[in-house]
A and B are shown apart, each in its own frame.
Chain A
Amino acid sequence: MHIRTFSRLGRFTALTAAALSLGLGLAQAEPESNDPIKLTLHDWTGQLITTNLMAEVLKKAGYNVELVQADYLAQFAGLETGDLHVAMEMWETTGREAMDAATATGKVENIGPTGMKAKEEWWYPSYMKDKCPGLPDWEALKSDACAEAFSTAETAPKGRYLGGPVTWGGFDDERVEALDLPFEVIHAGTDAALFAELESAYQRQAPILLWVYAPHWAPAKYEGEWVEFPEYTAECYTDPKWGSNPDMAYDCGKPFGEIWKVGWAGVKDKWPGAYDAIKAFTIDNDQMGAMITEVDLDGKTVDAVVADWMGRNEAVWSAWIK
């Protein structure tokens, strides 16, 4: 129920702001501006944790912080005009195009990597290994028996691969063609639909092959693994000659990507200290994965998990705001 706690968080911060600024703010350097720094919240847990963590750290440094809910990609309109200031998670794998368009205007700035790496690939539950024994090697998918095992009435005799929403890109249609896989790519419309199908199949121990990404709660909740494609290189996507198919690009797996922090270009001038802190922020996949699991599967609140991390890692975050 961590979402409900957000509105509560707002109230909580309102009431304790004075205490904070008296108790801690004076100990630190004065913030350059008392205007609130607006950080955006999206609708997945990892991002909520990252953003709250950053917000708490900035508050410790005496800054005025406001958390605003905004859509992952629509937020760029706000970042360009300066209505919003910082977005803590912009995934290389899904947000690159929008981010490039925004930074090209000169009004949005890439504030550097978060330290987390986005992993995205074809994924299957472990029980599918019995029906398609060659996995996780991608060559196993080429056999008709494997395709059959993953097929549905609509796609038979081809296998069914549930890809991400069209908007995520990912070149799965091209990949299937380049690697000559007997599979049909069906695009889920949203993240929620994607995992609803996984949940459904997992409950029935039914066949499913789909796009899963990390950091996310799904790889922690469901037992399974990623298909191992030929490793991604930049040439694979641009040069047809690379890889097993001499005539087509995309004959490899998906890239690992940075998760970036982006912000309004004016942040640097208005709150230089906060800008440095945001730039310094880093956390790795394992720590984040553990926190997401605590929230989504163990039912803890985001606040509690963030406070817990802050308590255990004081040396880490106090270095960011020096």
Chain B
Amino acid sequence: MAAVGPAETARAGWPAAPSRGLVVWIVALGAFALLWANAATLAPWAQEWPRAWTPRIAFSISAFMRWLVDEATSGLFTFTEFTRFLSALVEAPYRFVLAILSTGLLSGQGSQAVQIAPPVSWAGIIGVFVIAAHAADGRRLALLAIACLGFILVFGQWDSAMVTLASIVVAVPAGAVGGLLLGLAAYRWRAFERAISPVLDLMQTIPIFAYLVPILFLFGFGPVAAILATIIYAMPPMTRIAVVALRGVAPEIRDLGRMTGCTPRQMTWRVMVPAAMPGLMVGVNQVIMLSLNMVIIASMIGAGGLGFDVLSALRRLDFGAGLEAGVAIVALAVLLDRTSQAFAKTTVQRAHADGAGFATRHPYLLAALAVVVASFLAGLVLPPLARWPEAWELSTGTFWSELVRWINVNFFDELEAVKNALLLNVLIPFKRFLLGLPWLGVALLAGVAGWTLSGFRLAALSVALSTLIAVSGLWEEAMTTVYLCGLSVVFALMIGVPIGVWSADRPRVWRVVQAVIDTLQTLPSFVYLMPVVMLFRVGDFTAMIAIVAYALAPAIRYTAHGLHQVDPKLIEAGRAAGCTPFQLLVKIRLKLALPEIMLGVNQTIMLALSMLVITALVGTRDLGQEVYIALTKADTGRGIVAGLAVAFIAIIADRLIAAGAARARARLGLSGQGGS
């Protein structure tokens, strides 16, 4: 029991549970079978919730929204004025960054605006990034910066990329700092953690389309609303990871802080946060990746930039142009991520090198300023240095469209055969099976699972949330969602976990894998979705390919990260005790990495659910489609109800997995003694 904390033991239940659990399961499955067989005739309401009993929740939410926008007032100012004030707070820094990167300083508005000062030229911006990269990590990173920005420039994506960069520059720090603060609060107060956990789930799992309409109503149209939606979406992983990272700080370090008489503030910022930095940087990485992932959706509500280019290229079926804009997004992601990671490492080191940081950073700052001024002056003499001439731009032209055409013409029948086999033998039977289940039975089973894994509270939660979904009248859509995301998560884990294990202790492989999953996570799914539609037609199969491609990343990343974190001393001890490499992997490394891997499973599910918005675009009939319909009808209530149904599924899955993980840990902790 030594390895397991008291809280986890309590949640996991005592070792006697399995026999009790077995009885419960037999009873429950029996009841379920009875219900399944007879519900349709004896109690139709248990099979399908009657339409007439469905309360008009959606209508009430829409009415509330109208009241909030039109009438709500605090006496001094209306609610809308308040939210508009908030959006002005976000807009000011955004306009400033945009002026530097793209528009230049303008006086006046619209087409009558006059440019007072030009934006920093491409040469200046590349110069600054290269200097920053060099300051952070030397020549290799500087070369990477040149490669990434050079690609964007030469392929004619510069203007759009700067618009996108401006919104990222505002959204990422806000998301990372906000997430860290929430994480610190959750770390310090358990009650706060318990309160915020469902909110985080909601933020991450309610499809963005569901809250887009209220955000537009409240915060106005344009880039600000898009930035706010991005922050809401990108912040939760930061908070979660911050909590895990802070918990993971070695007790000796904490004791040291206490012994040297740190105040709580010093303890937080001088001891805990620096010590947790490697873990926190995983969170920052996620914030950057998710922010860039929002680029497409943000462009739908007026953010412009690269996302808009992707969308309009694909509407013309110009795959090459879509891919170029998509890869430009990836290039931005890679550059920002690597640079911020490198900076985090150097600041940690400098903190140890007692404050020499400022003096060493000074020349870089000066150099950056010099580059900006020099590039401006040079641009006056040599216009191509200020604006890359259109004639020098490269393009892949029709190459990608031709490639897709070639595959389509030559291999369509083979691909169709594979697809049909999977569809007819796996997907459709599983879907029929799930759709045929009575809702009451499913709610019951979820409750039993919660009870045997954890206890009464989890059981009550599972039953309550499942029932709410049925009551909202969205059971069929919800089951379609479970089928689509469930199968996708299984596939993603089957592919992802082995890759994570394989690449964890092979640094060179890991670097390649990391590049691939970063690309998959930041390349807008839309870019490959349309070619996939050409080869596999619209429908569930295409949707599943998109979900697996996107949800694969956390399965790999967290597995590898968990294995990395295993204390080398324990592995050494295992080796000394004569473990084979396989035993070492299974009995020590995977076991100790389990909490991280479970976090990965959790994130895989969350990301799969967040892809519902995209799958709706290839014609699935799940909750995502419901949300999408609500968006196109600007129906706040309908969107939020469907969005909450998605979130409920996510919360049930999350809690059951967390409880299962706690149990597994408890059992593993015991297995050394008994082995049964």
Which residues of A pack against B, CB within 8 Å?
Answer: 1, 3-4, 7-8, 10-11, 13-15, 17-18, 20-21, 34-38, 43-45, 55, 59, 64-66, 68-71, 73-78, 81, 83-84, 97-98, 101-102, 152-154, 162, 165-167, 186-193, 195-197, 199-200, 203-204, 206, 217, 296
Contact = CB atoms under 8 A, between A and B. Distances in A.
Interface pairs A-B: 5 shortest CB-CB? A36-B110, A78-B221, A66-B110, A77-B216, A200-B534
A165 B538 CA distance: 11
B629 A76 contact: no
B639 to A, nearest CB: 11
23 contacts: A3-B312, A14-B111, A14-B115, A17-B114, A43-B315, A65-B111, A66-B109, A68-B302, A70-B302, A71-B300, A71-B301, A74-B213, A154-B423, A166-B619, A186-B538, A186-B539, A188-B618, A188-B619, A189-B618, A192-B314, A203-B408, A204-B409, A204-B412
A14 B529 CA distance: 37
A77 B405 contact: no
B625 interface: yes
B121 to A, nearest CB: 13
Interface residues on B, range: 35 or more
B217 interface: yes
B220 A83 contact: yes
Contacts of A199: 317, 534
Interface string B28-41: 00000000000000
A229 to B, nearest CB: 23
A153 B538 CA distance: 14
A81 B618 CA distance: 32
B158 to A, nearest CB: 9
B159 A4 contact: yes
Contacts of A17: 108, 111-114
B316 interface: yes
Nearest to A205: B409
Contacts of B409: 203-204
From B106, B304, B395, name the one whose CB has the most chain A CB atoms within 10 angstroms.
B304
B232 interface: no
A64 B106 CA distance: 14
A101 B531 CA distance: 36
A75 B632 CA distance: 10
A143 B616 CA distance: 33
A195 to B, nearest CB: 6
B68 interface: no
Interface of B: 102-104, 106, 108-115, 156-157, 159-160, 163, 212-213, 216-217, 220-222, 299-304, 308-309, 311-317, 321, 395, 405, 408-409, 412, 416, 420, 423-424, 526, 529-531, 533-535, 537-539, 615-621, 625, 628-629, 631-634
Given A98-B634, A192-B317, A193-B619, A68 B103 contact: no
A97 B638 CA distance: 15
Contact of B109 (A36, A78, A102, A154): A36
A197 B539 CA distance: 11
A203 B534 CA distance: 10
B314 A15 contact: no
B313 A188 contact: no
Nearest to A190: B617
A13 B304 CA distance: 17
Given A1-B395, A14-B113, 10 more contacts: A17-B108, A37-B110, A65-B111, A69-B308, A73-B634, A154-B420, A189-B620, A193-B619, A196-B530, A203-B409
Contact of A162 (B220, B299, B311, B538): B538
A83 B222 contact: yes
Contacts of A166: 619, 621, 625, 629
B397 to A, nearest CB: 10
Nearest to B303: A69
Given A36-B111, A153-B420, A73 B408 contact: no
Contacts of B316: 45, 217, 296
A193 B111 contact: no
Given A36-B110, A186-B619, A197 B633 contact: no
A169 to B, nearest CB: 10
Contacts of A206: 412
B304 A193 contact: no
A248 B78 CA distance: 50
Contacts of A74: 212-213, 216, 300-301, 631-632, 634
Contacts of A84: 221
